[in-house]
Structure 1
């Protein structure tokens, strides 16, 4: 039997890269998408997978990406991110626009493009990495939390609309994970980014990837609707114990 194919977006670093490794180890043929093709190609070569440039904010890029994939059994919507941490009265509309494009419309575009292949596989699975920010709010985070709320709603609606189809739908809801997330959010300010994780042990990308691989390898009749994982020291988006 040929390997099942897993498609991972935002696969050049962090959770995406770790997920590619975990799914390859679990026996999947991995197809990787991200904007940084140089990093992506090295990973694909290491995992005997396939790399394609992908910008989820660009409909033409998504169409070309999806068109290059012959079949798809598992889709991991991982591409996303945050920009800025301003209060509502100081909100930067360009940052908001980007966050909605990458987190919400990006997830929509890739999912919509690959759904026919997921259904045709006879045993498809859509896993979307959202955030605990999709279930709470915090000061300065309105742009990101609103985008993550919308992404979560999109994903959960898909679960309802595809009831009865051969497609499983799982939402992965991480809390604090130490990746490039905060570095990008704060425009490369390493000190400020490091402060997000100071005083506690955050999740690693590998921690999240192991959960994704677990969900993706359950029997086809088992649907894990939602998995929330946080550091032991974190209660929610605003409360954490720091030593």
Structure 2
């Protein structure tokens, strides 16, 4: 009897993480839905037949508990937990916001990867997919803390691929541009709905969480010898990070 494939998705309580969990479940994966908000991941896991794991990726003890639940074998790890906090220029930067962004986007990714790598290797064909951002490729005003953190995500991904070059695990990064989810911009702007809405004002069709989840699922389900190093995905309206077609 063929063994059920397993996947861990961090930051699974909303947005790209929740969508990815649903897409992977439809592909036959048993998904460990990891996030801090227990009520959300419990509802999601019940919906898709997965396993909820309350986990703060910045807490090593919490991550160790996730690894215990996953067990000795894992096929796919999607490091999706992340976030942007604030948009102040460097001259008015909040060190605590920068620290939070580095902790979740870089240190959290490291902690989860380190804890689950033995199980990924044990599968014989593991896949690590890190959710980056086009902010990890360019700079823009008011984004230094987030772009620095997401550049960190990119560099960790590249380094992992070099370090694991002779091991049975692929290392990939999906790099979304403008994605409209229910929480990302709202969290960034401290709950200011008007500022969050302004990010997408006039953009007829920004990407959705499902668009990115579809790309992630395609990447991790390629044959085990095929490594999609990075996949940049933007809406058609976004020719570049700074050049977005807005109607009206």
With the shorter chain as reference, the TM-score category is over 0.9
User: Which stretches in structure 2 are left out of the alignment for 5+ residues?
Assistant: none
1:223 aligns with 2:224: no
Query: Runs of at least 4 residues of structure 1 off by over 6 A?
Result: none
Match of 1:181 among 181, 184, 188: 184
Q: Partner residue of 1:198?
A: 201
User: Which stretches in structure 1 are left out of the alignment for 5+ residues?
Assistant: none
Q: Is the 8 A contact 1:137 1:237 kept in 2?
A: no
Q: Is the 8 A contact 1:84 1:185 kept in 2?
A: yes
In 1: Cα distance, 2:151 partner to 2:170 partner: 21
Q: Report the aligned-residue RMSD.
A: 0.7
1:241 aligns with 2:245: yes
TM-score by length of 2: 0.97
1:17-45 Cα deviation digits (max 9, x unpaired) = 00000000011111110001101001101
In 1: Cα distance, 2:83 partner to 2:153 partner: 12
In 1: Cα distance, 2:83 partner to 2:246 partner: 24
Q: Partner residue of 2:33?
A: 32
How far did 1:237 drift? 2.4
Q: Is the 8 A contact 1:132 1:236 kept in 2?
A: no
TM-score by length of 1: 0.98
How far did 1:221 drift? 1.1
For residue 238 of structure 2, give the secondary structure of its aligned residue in structure 1.
coil
1:88 aligns with 2:94: no
In 2: Cα distance, 1:23 partner to 1:234 partner: 27
For residue 30 of structure 1, give the secondary structure of its aligned residue in structure 2.
strand
1:85-234 paired onto structure 2 within 5 Å: 85-179=87-181, 180-200=183-203, 201-234=205-238
How far did 1:72 drift? 1.0
Q: How many residues align?
A: 243
